[in-house]
Chain A
Amino acid sequence: GAGVSQSPSNKVTEKGKDVELRCDPISGHTALYWYRQSLGQGLEFLIYFQGNSAPDKSGLPSDRFSAERTGGSVSTLTIQRTQQEDSAVYLCATTVSSYNEQFFGPGTRLTVL
């Protein structure tokens, strides 16, 4: 596709359940970022993938959060044992390299009841 896509667009889950959020990057973009947009914290960096290098996980808020990027393309962000404070919009952004403009997907709105 022409842009970054994310799925699902909305996800409602119960506290304690696991969720998976998906990001499909722009073709050829080797760098991929996950951010979280929440009312209390604004926009926060979560994790960064660059090619086949080990991801930079320095922004992940807890060990309940993890992410994978298969074949340098699609990425999945997994949140285990969700808590109400995990409710937020999760944004994916991709770019050709860390020297270039990041393009954002529309986000997944996660609501934990």
Chain B
Amino acid sequence: GDSVTQMEGPVTLSEEAFLTINCTYTATGYPSLFWYVQYPGEGLQLLLKATKADDKGSNKGFEATYRKETTSFHLEKGSVQVSDSAVYFCASSFYGGSQGNLIFGKGTKLSVKP
């Protein structure tokens, strides 16, 4: 079945460091891809998305590019801040399908130290 695999954490970085969180997917076809973020004590929020191959999603300095050839959607940020400390989830979905439900990776906890 369809699945999403992301690098396991926790990841600890110093402020202004470069961030990469790897994510790969398996699917029959070409799903839409997402990164969700869960800040401490808060609910899941959509961070960015891409709906087709070679699309780049971006938000709040984070970026991810939909790579069909490597079935990947790695999350990157050039300079992390303490406020980026959160759990990040990669997810896939077939928009407009019979369900459109999200399939999530297990999450990666990021801690940014000042």
Contacts and interface: CB of A to CB of B under 8 A. Distances in A.
Nearest to A95: B100
Interface size band for A: 20 to 34
B105 to A, nearest CB: 7
Contacts of A78: none
Contacts of B70: none
B99 A99 contact: no
A14 interface: no
B61 interface: no
Chain B, interface SS category: loop
Contacts, number: 56
A10 B112 CA distance: 29
Chain A, interface SS category: strand
Interface in B20-67: 42-46, 49
A99 B32 CA distance: 10
Nearest to A41: B106
A98 B93 CA distance: 9
A33 interface: yes
Contact of A42 (B46, B98, B99, B107): B107
Interface of A: 31, 33, 35, 42-45, 48, 56, 58-59, 91, 93, 95, 97-102, 104-107
12 contacts: A35-B102, A35-B104, A42-B104, A45-B99, A45-B101, A95-B100, A97-B100, A98-B95, A101-B49, A105-B43, A106-B42, A107-B43
Given A43-B107, A102-B102, A105-B43, 8 more contacts: A42-B105, A42-B106, A91-B43, A91-B44, A98-B95, A98-B100, A99-B95, A101-B49
